[in-house]
Structure 1
Amino acid sequence: MAYVLVMGGLALSVSFTLGWVLWRAVRWAWGLVAGPPTPRRAATPRPRARKAPRQAAPKPAARPAPKPPAKPTSREPWALTCWLARRHSAMPLASLALLLYGLTRLVEFGMTQRPLSPPAGYHSLVNALGWAAAALLALAILNLMARWRCRER
């Protein structure tokens, strides 16, 4: 009974993840077909009243002030970095994969403690899920770093 519940939960989680990926792919494809979104209008600031310029009294020539040290100029982020910063699905997918991996590792430990042996491909499934969770976590970290890099834009 526990095996059916665990495998049913795993199948439900995998189908949810695949459905999410399919939904995101359909939205992406629809965005390509529909064209780029129209930009929203920004609120236009009100014009301010100008003050009349003052007549400055002539000052005696003074020594020029020392120049401040030059600030290092930051380069524009790459297009790949900006593209990655716009993707917001990496962290939820990584969280889901890590949760699934933790649960399957717990079930694997429980299966090794009983006298019956686990199904043949279960250990390879747990290993593959672990590698997928690690890859998604790395992608989520890259996504956060890209968002941080493109936050000024």
Structure 2
Amino acid sequence: MGIKSFQGKRTTTNTKESEPILVSDYMTRNLITFKEEQPIEEVIETLIKYKISGGPVVNEKNELIGIISEGDCMKQISESRYHNLPVDKNNTVKKAMITSVETIDGNMNIFDAANKFLESKRRRFPIVENGKLVGQISQKDVLKAAMKLKSNTWK
């Protein structure tokens, strides 16, 4: 009788379908947000204190109305210095924020979100559900997801 198998006894392996890794699994839900009537100086202090590069601007109903970044604040400072004036105390978030905000769906696959980051050159995307701000995903959150996936499945 000949040898039937060189591999030894074969065991059945439970190959589990890999579940998609969603944006909602890695997004930040506890956000630092800003109001449009806040002074720019207050925003700058908050950005420095919490070591963040920007944040969403919401109204009293927690609806996303804009986003403000370090760059937006720097523009305000630069304009003041260009005209040799102190930073205007009446400069508010409303004057500096970007109102055309691109959002992404919390049910989007994290790798699709990574591609969206690469295409748009943005550092963060807010996530809105039913008109309300529910979270934000950053490039760093996508990197964390990739590292977690690597430790679980990649060799």
Place the TM-score, normalised by the shorter chain, in its bin. Answer: under 0.3
TM-score for the superposition, normalised by structure 1: 0.26
RCO higher in structure (CA 8 A, sep ≥6): 1
TM-score for the superposition, normalised by structure 2: 0.26
Structure number with the higher strand fraction is: 2
Structure number with the higher helix fraction is: 1
Larger-gyration structure (1/2) = 1
